[in-house]
Amino acid sequence: MKPFSPVALLIALLVSLFAGAAQALPVSVSYSVSGTSGDYTLDFTITNNMPVAQNIYFFGVLLSARDIVGSPAGGWNPNSWVTWNNTYYGDTISNYNNNWIGGYVTPGNSQSGFLVHITDAVAPSAVPWFMYLSGSEPYLGGDNLNNTSNPGFVSGAETSVDVPAPGALMLVGFGLLGLHAARRKRG
């Protein structure tokens, strides 16, 4: 078996250091919970990290019941779409039941104040959501529903996170370098 070249390992290590993490979705949703068992209010915040001129204009979540108790200023209407279904566009969730449309969140900005009341015994640890954007530039990043001029994004119970690929590659590189050094020492 041919031994690993230290130069090749060093090159692989340097490449991994300069590689970026796999990107998460260009939009995100977070929420805070207030209240007690059977009487929770969830306050959702949506964030637009789009690399192109695309504005969020439609947002919704799936909870145990529909009970919108607050909407942010700026034209967000909670009554235009009582339910919304993305299955035609490739989503697996059939009906989102708390939806807002008509406002705008521009790239680099966030909007909170999407308030929903729930009577669940336990507050949810994750909430399925969707949002749609539109703008003057197409979104070419993938991971979206619909099309590039009106992309939609969804998240199920899982959360979107950056994949730490460069760190993992660096650890593998150090491990291989250590194995190579130990092998040279013995031989």
Long-range contact pairs involving 178-185 (C-beta distance under 8 Å, separation at least 24): 179/4, 180/3, 180/4, 180/6, 180/9, 183/3, 184/3
Residue-level pLDDT at 8: 57
Tell me the C-alpha distance between 131 and 111, whole Å: 13
pLDDT, mean over the chain: 82
- Helix H or strand E encompassing 44: strand 39-48
Residue-level pLDDT at 10: 54
Asked if 74 contacts 122 with a C-beta cutoff of 8 angstroms, the reply is no
The model's pTM? 0.70
Q: What confidence tens digit (pLDDT) does each residue in 67-104 have?
A: 999 999 999 999 999 999 988 888 888 799 999 999 99
Residue-level pLDDT at 5: 64
Helix and strand element counts for the chain (H, E): 2, 9
Amino acid (one-letter) located at 124: P
Q: In this model, does residue 34 exceed pLDDT 80?
A: yes
Tell me the C-alpha distance between 185 and 187, whole Å: 6
Q: In this model, does residue 28 exceed pLDDT 90?
A: yes
Calculate the CA 97 to chain-centre distance.
20
Range name among 15-29, 38-52, 126-140 with the lowest pLDDT average: 15-29
- Helix H or strand E encompassing 115: strand 110-118
- The burial class, CB within 10 Å (0-12 / 13-18 / 19+), for 170 is middle
Residue-level pLDDT at 174: 65
Residue-level pLDDT at 16: 47
Find the radius of gyration of the CA atoms of the chain.
23
